[in-house]
A and B are shown apart, each in its own frame.
Chain A
């Protein structure tokens, strides 16, 4: 197809990508990607991690130049030389990790890098603020232009990011995983904003790997797989299952907890009472947290990141001192703050930062697998490690947990995210723990690995381990847990039986709406 016919074939498109290919040494990140975004449309780019979404958005925003293919903006052939050229052409990006300066006001963040209204050489802050308030009202995004960004909630910060793009007269907004950091009510208000932008003739490119939200937000969906655009479908009338198949390339069965749970009369293996602890900056991060987990039970902790979940798991793993409260493991009090102490008492810990905190990335799989047991026989004898025992133990665990790697000597940093997590779970479960504390166990994993990890967690519970599952992924918490506790600002707001939990109620709690009824555990 020649260029002119491409131009002739499409009209009223905000953005058209045709045959876009981008190679990096050793990888083809995008291959023959073709899709078009209409004016006034919310268009989703759906794909797993590594499917090429990020590379594609970097091409659209001028960070990378495509090796092949054509990019048309407002039906005009364009290759962006720089991010600035993309901004000038009306394409704006809202990154997943906000590019905001916390100590600046909302207005300062928005006008940074623009030619702000000025009198002589001084910035005319008042008229900049007026313009921002006007834009905020136009798109239903209330925000105080004089507030400092660090004072704002994550949802408000995202509004500032969006306003920053709108202030630069962007007609095409690219949003990278925008709901990942939001509570469900915040996500709903974002959808309202995006819809109102589309109604007013702007276009939104919505990047996500979440099937559910894509189907409800977008008009059309382009699915990316292995760097290629697989299909573009109408959101209305496409099922989650069909989208998942397009995304993964095979049929996917998701793990859903059925039955299970603690048996009647099962012992309480983890009991936390009135626990308080300080955060990194010396401010209270946990206040009076109490919870119990029975053998064979999965307790899910839901909440927006940064509400004390990290501090909670660190205290349980002995990595953070508590200021008050008690922790009992299977009836024995955990007295000291010391990472070795919980290990000996039977607490297994899978941290969110798998490769940094969980494993030693430059050590081999075999060495990582024995990191918590090397002090005692049979792994070591007196001061010496026993390589043959270590090797056979590594083989056994790699088979049992289906770790795919060239050999047990491979450094863990070379493994894919799913295999890293399997190594970590293998090590933790090999110590025959009573309690398993896991934090965001499937974050960043592809769909297949997610299912495997979920199954491993369910297996652990079935074997009588009490599992504390901390995750920002509400769907995951709802699918796996027997009970769900919601954390907000360092407190547990409510603890709900999974069978009675519904997403809107948990969403309200995640946003801090205090329940009068139904409190307690």
Chain B
């Protein structure tokens, strides 16, 4: 059944797109509150190292170890997000600079690699991994079965979170407040919405989601530790937020498009299709640049629905 190239490519697109979904979903929450966090890549690496550490150092059944590993990933990445939140929300540091600093601080030459060395990670694949499983018994459906229902638990979790986050943003009172804080913190403040608290919470939630994205790498895709193992996918997630107009449902489509591009090198190579390796490797990044260039001017961003207060620190007017 898996011989069909079409099915293989699509299944791989979803598998490799899953970390992008988590990371971009988290960034949507943060940006909807008006805080842009370029530290996604760094936070993913923190999540990856945290998850790998738990999976390596705790023995036990997968049903116990893996949830703990995922929670650890969320906490590690949220700790990174907390630094960004404190700098940008409380101290009102430039969000771009703080986010870049976070990625450098946590990235390949930073904390994540240091911790991995300290804990001696990456010597062998982790014992407990997220493997593909047929959760609902629908894996035998023609075509759709192997594409949609032969995935890891993390993928199913990402779908659940996309649905819940969409409902949260657009249908609940808290979502309304979140959008108001990102559009006009002055207005939100004037009707009693706690602007700073909302921004903290959503930046932290965004960090936790990025942590799960990191866990996708160290618990499933690789599944071990390698320095800088997220391969710049955090940057692609940032582009996806814009690509999806800050909406979870549209972002999901984009994530699988980029996931498909990322996976081409594995799927095509395995079939002996002759396309230069470098070209395939560069595809997702080239696409990212194209997306970012298209939406880089601020007028276009406004039309695409970027939160109006994105990137702007909020300070209450006082005399």
Chain A interface (Cβ < 8 Å from any Cβ of B): 24, 64, 83-84, 87, 95, 99-104, 108, 111-116, 118, 121-123, 164, 281-282
Does B187 sit within 8 A of A, measured CB to CB? yes
Contacts of B190 in A (CB 8 A): 83, 95, 99
Q: Given A111-B176, A122-B171, do A101 and B187 touch, yes or no (CB 8 Å)? A: yes
Does B172 sit within 8 A of A, measured CB to CB? yes
Q: Are B299 and A87 in contact (CB under 8 A)?
A: no
- A119 to B276 CA separation, bound complex (whole angstroms): 56
Additional A-B contact list (9), CB under 8 Å, known A99-B186, A118-B173, A121-B171:
A83-B192, A99-B187, A101-B180, A102-B183, A102-B308, A103-B183, A113-B191, A122-B167, A282-B299
- A87 to B186 CA separation, bound complex (whole angstroms): 16
- Give residues 61-106 of B contacting A (CB, 8 Å): none
Q: Given A83-B192, A113-B188, A116-B173, do A104 and B319 touch, yes or no (CB 8 Å)? A: no
Q: Are B184 and A101 in contact (CB under 8 A)?
A: yes
Q: Say how far B307's CB is from chain A's closest CB, in angstroms.
A: 9
Does B202 sit within 8 A of A, measured CB to CB? no
Q: Say how far A230's CB is from chain B's closest CB, in angstroms.
A: 23
Q: Given A87-B192, A118-B173, do A101 and B183 touch, yes or no (CB 8 Å)? A: yes
- A108 to B180 CA separation, bound complex (whole angstroms): 9
Does B199 sit within 8 A of A, measured CB to CB? no
Q: Are B176 and A112 in contact (CB under 8 A)?
A: yes
Contacts of B253 in A (CB 8 A): none
- A101 to B305 CA separation, bound complex (whole angstroms): 13
- A203 to B16 CA separation, bound complex (whole angstroms): 62
Q: Are B299 and A112 in contact (CB under 8 A)?
A: no
Contacts of B308 in A (CB 8 A): 102-103
Interface centre among B177, B187, B305 (most CB of A within 10 A): B187
Q: Are A104 and B171 in contact (CB under 8 A)?
A: no
20 contacts between A and B (CB under 8 A): A84-B192, A95-B190, A99-B186, A100-B187, A101-B179, A104-B180, A108-B176, A112-B188, A113-B177, A113-B180, A113-B193, A114-B191, A115-B173, A118-B173, A121-B172, A121-B173, A122-B167, A122-B172, A123-B171, A123-B172
Q: Given A103-B305, A122-B172, A281-B299, do A112 and B183 touch, yes or no (CB 8 Å)? A: no
Residues 249-265 of chain B: 1 if any A CB is under 8 Å from the residue's CB, otherwise 0? 00000000000000000
Contacts of A64 in B (CB 8 A): 319
Chain B interface (Cβ < 8 Å from any Cβ of A): 167, 171-173, 176-177, 179-180, 183-184, 186-188, 190-193, 299, 305, 308, 319
Q: Given A24-B319, A123-B172, do A112 and B180 touch, yes or no (CB 8 Å)? A: yes
- A240 to B191 CA separation, bound complex (whole angstroms): 37
Interface of chain A, helix or strand or loop or mixed? loop
Nearest residue (CB) in A for B183 is A101
Q: Are A112 and B191 in contact (CB under 8 A)?
A: yes
Q: Say how far A490's CB is from chain B's closest CB, in angstroms.
A: 19
Nearest residue (CB) in A for B175 is A123
Contacts of B184 in A (CB 8 A): 99, 101
Q: Say how far A225's CB is from chain B's closest CB, in angstroms.
A: 20
Contacts of A123 in B (CB 8 A): 171-173, 176
Q: Say how far A256's CB is from chain B's closest CB, in angstroms.
A: 37
Q: Say how far B319's CB is from chain A's closest CB, in angstroms.
A: 6
Interface of chain B, helix or strand or loop or mixed? helix
Contacts of A102 in B (CB 8 A): 183, 308
Q: Are B179 and A104 in contact (CB under 8 A)?
A: yes
Q: Are B177 and A112 in contact (CB under 8 A)?
A: yes
**What 5 pairs between A and B have smallest CB-CB spacing?**
A113-B191, A99-B187, A84-B192, A101-B183, A122-B171
Contacts of A103 in B (CB 8 A): 183, 305, 308
Contacts of B173 in A (CB 8 A): 111, 115-116, 118, 121, 123
Q: Say how far B173's CB is from chain A's closest CB, in angstroms.
A: 6
Q: Say how far B69's CB is from chain A's closest CB, in angstroms.
A: 30
Interface centre among B171, B180, B192 (most CB of A within 10 A): B192
Q: Which of B171, B186, B192, B299 contacts A113 (CB 8 A)?
A: B192
Nearest residue (CB) in B for A54 is B319
Contacts of B305 in A (CB 8 A): 103
Contacts of B299 in A (CB 8 A): 281-282
Nearest residue (CB) in A for B307 is A103
- A24 to B318 CA separation, bound complex (whole angstroms): 11
Q: Say how far A120's CB is from chain B's closest CB, in angstroms.
A: 9
- A23 to B188 CA separation, bound complex (whole angstroms): 28
Q: Say how far B161's CB is from chain A's closest CB, in angstroms.
A: 16
Nearest residue (CB) in A for B193 is A113
Q: Say how far A29's CB is from chain B's closest CB, in angstroms.
A: 8
- A118 to B171 CA separation, bound complex (whole angstroms): 10
Contacts of A24 in B (CB 8 A): 319
Q: Given A112-B176, A122-B172, A282-B299, do A104 and B192 touch, yes or no (CB 8 Å)? A: no
Contacts of B167 in A (CB 8 A): 122
- A115 to B167 CA separation, bound complex (whole angstroms): 18
Nearest residue (CB) in A for B316 is A63
- A84 to B191 CA separation, bound complex (whole angstroms): 7
Contacts of A114 in B (CB 8 A): 191
Q: Say how far A132's CB is from chain B's closest CB, in angstroms.
A: 15
- A84 to B299 CA separation, bound complex (whole angstroms): 35
Contacts of A118 in B (CB 8 A): 173
Contacts of B187 in A (CB 8 A): 99-101, 112
- A231 to B279 CA separation, bound complex (whole angstroms): 81
Nearest residue (CB) in A for B187 is A99
- A164 to B171 CA separation, bound complex (whole angstroms): 20
Contacts of B179 in A (CB 8 A): 101, 104
- A83 to B172 CA separation, bound complex (whole angstroms): 24
Nearest residue (CB) in B for A24 is B319
Nearest residue (CB) in A for B317 is A63
- A101 to B256 CA separation, bound complex (whole angstroms): 33
Q: Which of B172, B183, B193 contacts A104 (CB 8 A)?
A: B183
- A95 to B299 CA separation, bound complex (whole angstroms): 28
- A164 to B187 CA separation, bound complex (whole angstroms): 12
Nearest residue (CB) in B for A118 is B173
Contacts of A95 in B (CB 8 A): 190
Contacts of B192 in A (CB 8 A): 83-84, 87, 113
Contacts of A84 in B (CB 8 A): 192
Nearest residue (CB) in B for A98 is B187
Q: Say how far A176's CB is from chain B's closest CB, in angstroms.
A: 13
- A101 to B183 CA separation, bound complex (whole angstroms): 7
Q: Say how far A125's CB is from chain B's closest CB, in angstroms.
A: 9
Contacts of B188 in A (CB 8 A): 112-113
Contacts of A121 in B (CB 8 A): 171-173
- A111 to B180 CA separation, bound complex (whole angstroms): 11
- A282 to B298 CA separation, bound complex (whole angstroms): 13
- A281 to B298 CA separation, bound complex (whole angstroms): 11
Nearest residue (CB) in B for A168 is B191
Nearest residue (CB) in B for A58 is B319
Q: Say how far A192's CB is from chain B's closest CB, in angstroms.
A: 26
Contacts of A83 in B (CB 8 A): 190, 192
